[in-house]
Structure 1
Amino acid sequence: MADLRDVNLNRLAVFVAVVEAGSLTAAAERLGLAKTMVSKHMQRLEAEVGASLLVRTTRRLNVTEAGRTFYDASCLALRAAEDGLSAIAGEVGPLRGTLRVNAPIDFGLQFVAPALVELRRVHPELEVDLQCVDQLVDLVGEGVDVAIRLGRLADSNYRAVKIGEFVKWMVASPAALGAGAAKPAELAMLADRPYVAVATLPRPLSVALEHRDGRKDSLRYPNAFLTNTATAARAATLAGGGIALLTDFSIADDVAAGRLVRLLDGWATAPANIHAIFPATRFPSRKVRALIDAVKVQWLAALALRSGKAKRSSSRA
């Protein structure tokens, strides 16, 4: 078994760069080193750890099973070092290193991506890796620094910071409703309508709503147009595919512009939280705190804009 004292830890950064770049040449360009120096680092690292990490052929570079395991461990080690340096660097100075963020697609596109752009304007040395998926990921296993979660948080060892709240509205396109059709007043009146749903939700075919006066109602559809992302569900609804239960933040502009019609006035899902989560075992680094603050700014700006539009619409009415 290799002894940590025999491993030059500086080579971990070179190894990670090689795996991520996919070749020695690309890694050399990224690191500003000669290709021969990168190759020598890899040869010495394999000798130090006592295992073959890379398989090099004339056409491509492959990572061995041992190399993949060592890559994951190297990423965690480098990130922990970055977080430790950030934690002792004080509250001033530019942000550096890589910030890996995970977010749902719709929220990520609308709020997280602009927030990261603003961070990069202020801190141009900060590298960003934004992953937008609607499936939950293992933050530690995937090397994610901070993730955005919508709705109830599962029990975990992650730390959480609340960003805001959202609800969902029942909506449909004007074409799906039909010309001159009256808006349904009760949930039961929507039972025979085509339904668009997000398949990754725990109960995609079930609708549970609350009225502002405290009444509650629910409905379960026997089938639906199913898709694996909320963004695709919105697109299908805009195209006239049926009615859908969608987040207010993702469709507020569509409703205001008339592209979608909000059904069942006064009805919505119970308010749910938006959280930023990060591993509890990791320092709450300046990068993570800065990202959370930047997303909050984007969220509050959107709320203010929506409130202003609502007031103007009310005054015109």
Structure 2
Amino acid sequence: MTNLGDLEVFARVVATGSMSAAGRALGFSPAVISKRIKRLEDRLGTRLLQRTTRQISLTDAGQGFYDRVLGVLAGIEDAEAFAAGRSGEVQGTLRISAPTSFGRMHIAPHLTRFMAAHPDLVLNLTLSDAFTDIVAEGFDLAIRIGELSDSSLVARRLAPVRRVLCASVDYTRRHGMPQTLADLEQHICLPAHNHESWKLEGPDGAVSYRPEGPLITNSSEVIREAVLSGAGIALRSTWDIGPDLRSGTLLQVLPEWEGSRNLSVSAVYPSRQFLPAKVRLFIDYLAGLYGPVPPWEQ
């Protein structure tokens, strides 16, 4: 009988497109991955993958085998999820990717209660502002903020995101308060590190404004600290600066204009025929924490 582990290795190689990426996801060296694939092919008596120096592709036999392997693996995980749901307990490791600031502010403080409710589950939380390929890197789910593009991933909306233009009291005292969008040309703006345009909605509908500023950084948290210290005007999410707005440390600039209303905090996970119990439990937990009116808006 074929080793089920070899089937998982094969499926991961196909999903990631390389043996090295599959090895990183599964914790094996590329040499071990290659050996496992060869063992599987030898047992089946057919070549499943075409290998070149640049890419890996499925043979006709490999494609048919892959389609059936996905069903086998899904059935096994479905059975495990069913048993876990029946017992009320989940085990193993849940690998989660989340943006740095949001993870620190709105996930980390709530982990204790979740871990206490599921003592046999290990949480592996990676915080990064870089885009994460959750399939290639072996994550069970990712928390993403923004407009979700069409993909093979399944997404569940957890909370709305509201973004506002803001500046410190000190900045507005020194530079004044802009009255129109055109006035921003005379002010110091602090764009995001990727210098994308600000997508705004207001009295004139949806507009796109490309801010220019003297600060370039790859860190969203640096922009936050810069606006707090009076360096300029920024477009920030209320989940990030809500307490500063409430305390009066930051003032909302041009309040009739806000960021795109299509943004949300979402949980995304690989498209499968079912949702593993450990993933479902964590997503449900976050959804219960945030809700349609999240704490940072209250």
The TM-score with structure 2 as length reference comes to 0.70
Residue 291 of structure 1 pairs with residue 282 of structure 2? yes
Letter of the 1:197 counterpart: P
Unaligned runs of 5+ in 1: 13-52, 54-62, 72-76, 308-317
Distance 1:256 1:91, change over 3 A: farther
**Separation of aligned partners in 1, 2:117 and 2:292:** 19
**Separation of aligned partners in 2, 1:83 and 1:127:** 20
Counterpart selection for 2:144 from 149, 155, 176: 149
Letter of the 2:85 counterpart: G
**Separation of aligned partners in 2, 1:100 and 1:205:** 30
**Separation of aligned partners in 2, 1:237 and 1:192:** 17
Counterpart selection for 1:303 from 281, 294, 297: 294
Structure 1 residue aligned with 2:65: none
CA deviation string 1:222-280 (max 9, x = no partner): 44412223222111211222111111211111111122111112210121122111001
Q: CA deviation at 1:65?
A: 4.1
Residue 195 of structure 1 pairs with residue 189 of structure 2? yes
Structure 1 residue aligned with 2:88: 93
Structure 2 residue aligned with 1:279: 270
Counterpart selection for 1:208 from 199, 208, 211: 199
Q: CA deviation at 1:88?
A: 3.3
Counterpart selection for 1:255 from 226, 245, 263: 245
Counterpart selection for 1:183 from 177, 181, 193: 177
Q: Percent identity?
A: 29
**Separation of aligned partners in 2, 1:87 and 1:214:** 52
Q: SS of the residue aligned with 1:140? A: coil
Structure 2 residue aligned with 1:237: 227
**Separation of aligned partners in 1, 2:232 and 2:112:** 35
Letter of the 2:92 counterpart: G
Mapped contact 2:200–2:257 kept (Cα < 8 A): yes
**Separation of aligned partners in 2, 1:191 and 1:116:** 43
Letter of the 2:199 counterpart: A
Instruction: Tell me the matched-pair count.
Output: 243
Q: SS of the residue aligned with 1:235? A: helix
Mapped contact 1:197–1:227 kept (Cα < 8 A): no
Distance 1:141 1:228, change over 3 A: same
Distance 1:158 1:94, change over 3 A: same
Q: SS of the residue aligned with 2:242? A: helix
Letter of the 2:242 counterpart: A
Residue 66 of structure 1 pairs with residue 28 of structure 2? no
RMSD of Structure 2 on Structure 1 (CA): 3.2
Mapped contact 1:196–1:244 kept (Cα < 8 A): yes
Letter of the 2:221 counterpart: T
Mapped contact 2:153–2:271 kept (Cα < 8 A): yes
**Separation of aligned partners in 1, 2:249 and 2:34:** 49
Distance 1:302 1:164, change over 3 A: closer
Q: CA deviation at 1:97?
A: 0.9
Q: SS of the residue aligned with 1:89? A: helix
Letter of the 1:250 counterpart: D
